Amino acid sequence: MAIRLKQADFDAMAAHARSGLPNEACGLIAGKIENGTAVVEKIYLLSNPDQSPEHFSIDPAEQLCAVRDMRKAGLTPLGNFHSHPSTPSRPSAEDIRLAHDPKAKYLILSLAGEAPVLNAFEIVDGTVAQQLLEIV
């Protein structure tokens, strides 16, 4: 399934990731499924209580507020995103192990190079499949 993301949301995710350095940054994505494409209509920039450059967790209170906002706005939870401060934009062994929702889209933003690189994945039973990501 393709994922469509607005350029402004990509820029906000990259800024959020840079502001969290040297640690991973994270958030949620929400939107709608249109003709087999997950269209991201809103991103939620959340804190990483782990404050770690190698892993993240999402604050439960922030997650609850985001889900309530999604419901109020009529949006569908689509998945999450997190940054990799110094490694490539692909799931780590820990990312794969902790991917419990087969319907979720997992976006990973790498800050390892000169420009941020964002890729999208589905992870089902430990199997990773890269998804087409359109930034419009």
Domains, the chain, in order of start with CATH, read: 2-135 (3.40.140.10)
CA-based end-to-end distance of the chain? 16
Q: Are 29 and 105 in contact (CB under 8 A)?
A: yes
Q: Tell me the pLDDT band of 126, cut-offs 50, 70 and 90.
A: very high
Q: Give the global pTM.
A: 0.95
**pLDDT over 90 at 1, yes or no:** no
Q: Which two tokens stand for residue 5?
A: 């993301």
Q: Are 25 and 16 in contact (CB under 8 A)?
A: yes
Task: Give the pLDDT score at 98.
Answer: 92
